[in-house]
């Protein structure tokens, strides 16, 4: 323990003068470091005192990342890395390399051979058939059921799931989102019993894997709130995952303990300038807090990590390659996790928002196939944002998980809920049974939950 304290002191000492000179809250932050040394010295790391202090150190780190923005320096890098390590030690977690997500997504060394192959084939001058044939071949290879007839219809497993929206209360000002504050929509926040009633309705229709979705309203959508819902679902035989606002490492750990099998979190766009333009106010305005959320989730023990970008916000030739690099960085850090991908596309948005980078169906197909080539074993997920015909087409090429019979409004499965409470309109209106019937008739093996590997 004394050796760790000495190592920490030796590393932080060279930048204490810099903190004194440039940090507007230098006295407060330096006192935090003194308290941290005392906690480590008294063996309280991993206990409540250490975990609480770790959260304070982590918040300091993210404020610094947000404030520095493009003004990166060796002092910034040293400080954020050491604060990351210090918070990790205070929380009593195993030692690890510092998070460096922001630098990694700019580092071409994380581009794997399969990523490079995918980006070569995604060139519009390459015939689409070159991608679709390759994507279909890889999907059959890694997700297929045994068959001797290679000319038969696609024969791979397809997971069917449903999103369960529990709250559309949100304090973020995301310009493209149907939950945007202060839009005058029908706001609803389900309690645990109401959420469980919705889950039971879906369970009775075959769904065993549900994605719990909620807006960002810190006083309502708390860690305890989600944990209570997750525990109730697990007791009913449901395998739940979450698509919620970014959480702290400790909060993710609590959700894992409550039964969450995975987390889906889209960066929306990896262009920091455009990100700031779209996220005007609210917790979501912090680009680095969102960017490192999957690091925190993995460190907390989350088994499945879902990445994506919101197609239409930025040039996909910028965003999707960076998302691939982000995934490669995470895979390098957490090789035992399952990584999934989705490319949700904006079709409708609040009045006044014009989609700046629309893409057509053929381009969406091209990018999904590119993801299959880049990550041959990864689940690829498709929501009911897209029309039935396109969903059927993509299912026959590379998709291995799709939602069905979805509602994007809290209480939307059993209650008479106005569609003004939706996050976005559902385009594919088929029920779960109708989607499953089409899949079975088309030669797929339909599964209603994830396997032990999260696929």
Q: What is the CATH classification number for the domain harbouring 170?
A: 3.20.20.70
The pLDDT of residue 196 is: 97
In terms of domains, do 60 and 202 share one?
no
Q: Are residues 202 and 307 in the same domain?
A: yes
Query: Residues 323, 226: one domain?
Result: yes
> pLDDT value at position 73?
66
Flag whether 373 is in a domain.
Answer: yes
Return d(Cα 343, Cα 372) in angstroms, integer.
12
Residue 423 above 60 pLDDT? yes
Average pLDDT of 29-43?
88
pLDDT at residue 452, rounded to an integer: 81
Q: Which of 98, 126, 154 is the last residue of a domain?
A: 98
Do 41 and 141 lie in a common domain?
A: no
Q: What angle do CA 275, 279, 281 make, to 5 degrees?
A: 140
Helix (H) or strand (E) holding 223: helix 223-235
- Give domain status of residue 184, yes or no: yes
Confidence at residue 16, expressed as pLDDT on a 0 to 100 scale:
74
87-to-43, 57, 60, 95 alpha-carbon distances in Å? 14, 6, 10, 11
Q: What digits encode the pLDDT tens for the residues 199-216?
A: 999 999 999 999 999 999
d(CA 36, CA 28): 12
Residue where one domain finishes, among candidates 76, 98, 120: 98
My answer on whether 77 and 222 are in the same domain is no
pLDDT score at 12: 57
What is the gyration radius of the CA atoms in the chain, in angstroms? Answer: 23
Domain that holds residue 167: 135-447
Q: If pLDDT is split at 50, 70 and 90, which confidence band does 80 have?
A: confident
Q: What separation in angstroms does the CA of 318 have from each of 39, 105, 269, 321, 430? A: 44, 11, 9, 6, 33
**Residue 87: inside a domain:** yes
Q: How much is the average pLDDT of 89-104?
A: 91
Q: Does 14 or 405 have the greater pLDDT score?
A: 405
Residues 172 and 289 in one domain: yes
Tell me, yes or no, whether 123 lies in a domain: no
Over range 255-279, report the average pLDDT. Answer: 97
Quick check: is 105 in a domain? no
Q: How far is CA 349 from the centre of its chain?
A: 21
Q: Which residue has the higher pLDDT, 113 or 182?
A: 113
Q: Is the dihedral of CA 350, 342, 405, 290 positive or negative?
A: negative
What's the mean pLDDT in 353-362?
A: 96
pLDDT of 328:
98
Work out the mean pLDDT of the chain and round it to a whole number.
91
- Residue the block writes with tokens 């493209």: 176
Q: Are residues 255 and 386 part of one domain? A: yes
Q: Assess if residue 389 is contained within a domain.
A: yes
Query: Of the given ranges (158-162, 192-196, 424-428), which has the lowest mean pLDDT?
Result: 424-428
The percent of residues in the chain predicted with pLDDT above 90, rounded, is 74
> The pTM is what?
0.92
Same domain? For 311 and 374 the reply is yes
Domain count for the chain, please give it.
Answer: 2
pLDDT tier, 54 (very low <50, low <70, confident <90, very high otherwise): very high
Residue 309: partners with Cβ closer than 8 Å, 6 or more residues away: 266, 267, 268, 269, 270, 316, 319, 320, 323, 343
Checking DSSP bridges between strand 380-382 and strand 338-342, what pairing results, if any? parallel
In whole angstroms, what is the distance from residue 338 CA to residue 304 CA?
Answer: 5
Note whether 75 and 146 are same-domain residues. Answer: no
* Whether residues 37 and 141 fall in one domain: no
- State residue 41's pLDDT score: 86
- Examine the fold and report which residue of 51, 75, 98 is the final residue of a domain before the chain moves on: 98
* pLDDT confidence of residue 20: 78
**For residue 182, cis peptide bond before it (omega within 30 degrees of 0):** yes
pLDDT of residue 1: 43
Same domain as 304, residue 181: yes
Tell me the C-alpha distance between 26 and 21, whole Å. Answer: 8
**Looking up tokens 């407060």, which residue turns up?**
28
Question: For residue range 227-248, what is the model confidence (pLDDT) as tens digits?
Answer: 999 999 999 999 999 999 999 9
Residue 349 lies in a domain: yes
Q: Which is more confidently placed, 17 or 116?
A: 116
* Residue 209, H or E segment: strand 209-214
Indicate if 270 and 215 belong to the same structural domain: yes
Structural domain contains residue 168? yes
């Amino acid at each position: 323990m004394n050796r760790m304290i000495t190592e920490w002191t030796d590393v932080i000492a060279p930048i204490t003068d810099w903190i004194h000179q440039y940090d507007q809250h230098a006295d407060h932050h330096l006192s935090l470091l003194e308290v941290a040394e005392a906690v480590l010295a008294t063996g309280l790391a991993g206990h409540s005192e250490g975990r609480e202090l770790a959260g304070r150190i982590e918040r300091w780190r993210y404020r610094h990342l947000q404030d520095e923005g493009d003004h990166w320096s060796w002092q910034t890098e040293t400080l954020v890395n050491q604060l990351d390590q210090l918070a990790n030690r205070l929380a009593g977690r195993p030692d690890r390399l510092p998070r460096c997500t922001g630098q990694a997504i700019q580092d071409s060394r994380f581009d794997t051979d399969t990523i490079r192959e995918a980006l070569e084939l995604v060139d519009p001058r390459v015939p689409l058939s070159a991608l679709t044939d390759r994507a279909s071949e890889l999907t059959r290879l890694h997700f297929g059921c045994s068959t001797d007839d290679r000319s038969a219809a696609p024969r791979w497993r397809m997971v069917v799931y449903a999103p369960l929206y529990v709250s559309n209360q949100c304090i973020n000002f995301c310009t493209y989102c149907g939950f945007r504050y202060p839009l005058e929509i029908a706001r609803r926040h389900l309690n645990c019993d109401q959420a469980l009633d919705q889950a039971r309705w879906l369970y009775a229709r075959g769904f065993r894997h549900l994605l719990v979705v909620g807006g960002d309203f810190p006083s309502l959508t708390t860690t305890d709130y989600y944990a209570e819902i997750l525990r109730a679902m697990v007791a009913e035989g449901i395998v739940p995952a979450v698509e919620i606002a970014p959480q702290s490492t400790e909060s993710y750990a609590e959700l894992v303990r409550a039964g969450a099998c995975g987390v889906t979190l889209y960066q929306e766009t990896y262009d920091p300038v455009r990100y700031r333009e779209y996220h005007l106010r609210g917790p979501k305005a912090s680009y680095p807090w969102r960017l490192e959320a999957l690091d925190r989730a993995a460190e907390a023990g989350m088994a499945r990590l879902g990445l994506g970008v919101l197609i239409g916000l930025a040039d996909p030739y910028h965003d999707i390659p960076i998302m691939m690099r982000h995934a490669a960085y995470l895979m390098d850090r957490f090789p035992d996790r399952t990584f999934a991908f989705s490319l949700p596309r904006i079709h409708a948005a609040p009045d006044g928002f014009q989609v700046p980078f629309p893409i057509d169906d053929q381009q969406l197909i091209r990018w999904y196939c590119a993801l299959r080539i880049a990550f041959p074993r990864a689940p690829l997920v498709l929501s009911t944002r897209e029309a039935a015909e396109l969903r059927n087409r993509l299912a026959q090429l590379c998709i291995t998980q799709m939602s069905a019979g979805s509602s994007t409004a809290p209480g939307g499965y059993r209650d008479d809920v106005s569609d003004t409470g939706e996050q976005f309109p559902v385009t594919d209106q088929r029920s779960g049974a109708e989607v499953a019937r089409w899949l079975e008739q088309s030669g797929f093996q339909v599964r209603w939950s994830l396997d032990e590997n999260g696929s």
